[in-house]
Amino acid sequence: MRPIAELATEMGIDPTALEPYGLDKAKIPLSAFPDTPDKAKLIVVTAITPTPAGEGKSTTAVGLVQGLAKLGKKPVLTIRQPALGPVFGHKGGGTGGGKSTVQPAVDINLHFTGDFHAIESAHNLLAAMVDNAVYRNAIDGFDAAGITWRRVTDAEDRALRTIMTGGGGKLNGPVRETGFDINAASEIMAICALTNSYEDLRQRIGDIVVGWKKDGKTPVTAREVGGIGSIMALLRDAIKPNLVQTAEGQPTIVHMGPFGNIAHGCSSILADQLAVNCGDYVVTEAGFGADLGFEKFMDIKIRQGGPKPSAAVVVTTIRGLKWHGGVTMKNMSTPDAEAVRRGAENLANALRIVGMYGLPAVVAINRFPDDTTEEIAIAKEVAMASGAVGVAEANGFAEGGDGMTDLAAAVIEAADQVSEVKLLYDDGDSFFDKVEHIAKSVYLAASVEWGPMTRTTARRFADNGWNFPVCVAKTHLSISADPNLKGAPSGHILPIRELRILAGARQIVALAGEIITLPGLPSTPNAWDIDLDSDGEITGILST
């Protein structure tokens, strides 16, 4: 690997300003950001609706940066940090795969520079402060029944989804039902991904709503509970972007990791703001498919100050198109051109969604060895007929940057086109109009079904002046709220079961259907395969 100081110098960053974590990774203080106008073109990588196995979006993003470098460009990659829950659970690591990885992959997939631990500590400190405020009767009209701030963990521990606290006597506080979420779903994680300065971070942390007073109308904020300074101290280093590199030596900023189906699913605004001043192309990734991560990338991250993209890459696989065409996972290796054609309606829909935001799109067909010539030809035909400005096969897993130059060339051409970024709704639209618009235009729903008290809750949020973007939490396996509906289903109902206010992250979360915010371990977790050998080397982490 290249010396980390050499990467910084190439990016226009003073290497003496870096805060090294060993020899192969470092934090970049906000004061060290180059003070130059945005000069890079930003490329956002999204995908079709993923199969349970995923479509290789991270591998494609890494490979694209390697391919751009092969063409003589100066690219920078910005991606999310992997969460420990999925690493030890089912999804595995988040550093790409094969010859298109981010290094040091083992460190990045585990503790890295401690950002997730800092966020979890800050979140749970606030939870303890909230419980203490109630125990001490410190805030008039605020009791245990009004607390909404849950705790977080980095383990996929289903036993913690719902718990009782305060048992064992009065000294332990009032007995109440609460629970844990995965730390990637923490509002503090979302805040750190959206903030642009320490001053803004302090304001956002103070705005967090931790509960409601007995009147049911008056919110209680973290600012009233106190301890904001302590939370800021815990987060001091966490909001500094992390510098690493691809397997072929391109600068990579790995920072923050909100989930893509229950949060806004993108790496940090700070990472993108840094990157666009440090190269001529920046490749970033939005979580899950175009209906989730990409929509939130545009309507939440860009709306809140993220640099605007010049083009999008829609990743697809022949396997994914077969899955949407009705083929089971165990039959993916069997050629089935007609299933590819049926499932390609999902690819067409992903391109339609990207087009609504005014971006030119290139389709990347992430290659697998058993893909046939006929199947690939069908995918290319559908892509071009559905509005893609280019389509290329992506062979980054097997060949690294050498297998990604065709895609890189197509992306350069797309990014050179004149485009005008459009957002889906106006800031001043009502919450109901925002949800209805997303449901019908992005998810192809016929209507929205509002659950008990959701309309009342939305009006209460409006009364408090929270006219924020919408973050829909739903399954990632369908454009609908039903994971069994594959392809591009239309005419379905989007059920909004619950609303949550994230006043610090400046978004309203609408839970569509049965959403689990703390996953459980699968029957065969990755934790069984990870080990430490006699030489002290960690083995078995996927994507390494």
Structure tokens at 391: 């389509």
pLDDT tens digits for range 274-317: 999 999 999 999 989 999 999 999 999 999 999 999 999 999 99
Q: What is the CA radius of gyration of the chain?
A: 23
Q: Which helix (H) or strand (E) holds 101?
A: strand 100-103
Q: Are 365 and 318 in contact (CB under 8 A)?
A: yes
Check residue 531 and give its pLDDT.
94
- How many alpha carbons fall within 13 Å on the CB side of residue 167? 5
Please return the burial class of 185, using the count of CB atoms within 10 Å of its CB with bins 0-12, 13-18 and 19+.
buried
- Rounded to whole angstroms, the maximal C-alpha distance in the chain is 70
pLDDT of residue 415: 97
CA angle (142, 146, 148) in 5-degree steps: 125
Residue 107: other Cβ atoms inside 10 A: 17
DSSP, collapsed to helix, strand or coil, labels residue 212 as: strand
Give the pLDDT score at 544.
39
Distance CA 9, CA 114 (A): 25
CB 534 within 8 A of CB 499: no
pLDDT of residue 127: 98
Return the residue matching tokens 């062979």. Answer: 395
Exposure string for 29-64, b = 16+ CB within 10 A, e = fewer: eeebbeeeeeebbbbbbbbbbbbeebbbbbbbbbbb
Which secondary structure element, helix H or strand E, spans residue 220, and what is its range?
strand 219-221
Q: What is the pLDDT of residue 542?
A: 61
Tokens, residue 211? 């509960």
Q: What is the Cα–Cα distance from 363 to 439, expressed in whole angstroms? A: 24
pLDDT recorded at residue 438? 98
Nearest CA among 441, 368, 350, 494 for reference residue 49: 350
Provide the H-helix boundaries in 386-540: 396-399, 405-415, 431-437, 454-463
Domains annotated for the chain, with CATH where assigned, are: 39-111+242-415 (3.40.50.300), 115-235 (3.30.1510.10), 432-512 (3.10.410.10)
- pLDDT tens for 57-72 read 999 999 999 999 999 9
3-state secondary structure 423-461: CCCCCCCCHHHHHHHHHHHHCCCCEEEECCCHHHHHHHH
Closest CA to 109 of 92, 97, 126, 122: 92
How far, in Å, CA of 187 to CA of 173, rounded?
A: 25
> Which residues, 6 or more positions from 493, have their beta carbon under 8 angstroms from its beta carbon?
445, 446, 447, 448, 449
Our CA angle for 80, 86, 91, nearest 5°, is 95
How much is the pTM? 0.95
Per-residue confidence (pLDDT) for residue 543, from 0 to 100: 47
pLDDT digit string (tens) for the chain, length 544 residues: 899 999 999 999 999 999 999 999 999 999 999 987 768 999 999 999 998 878 899 999 999 999 999 999 999 999 999 999 889 987 778 899 999 999 999 999 999 999 999 999 999 999 999 999 999 999 999 999 999 999 999 999 999 999 999 988 888 888 899 999 999 999 999 999 999 999 999 999 999 999 999 999 999 999 999 999 999 999 999 999 999 999 999 999 999 999 888 889 999 999 999 999 999 999 999 989 999 999 999 999 999 999 999 999 999 999 999 999 999 989 999 999 999 999 999 999 999 999 999 999 999 999 999 999 999 999 999 999 999 999 999 999 999 999 999 999 999 999 999 889 999 999 999 999 999 999 999 999 999 999 999 999 999 999 999 999 999 999 999 999 999 999 999 999 999 999 999 999 999 999 998 888 999 999 999 899 999 999 999 998 864 3
- Joined together, the tokens standing for residue 264 give 């806004």
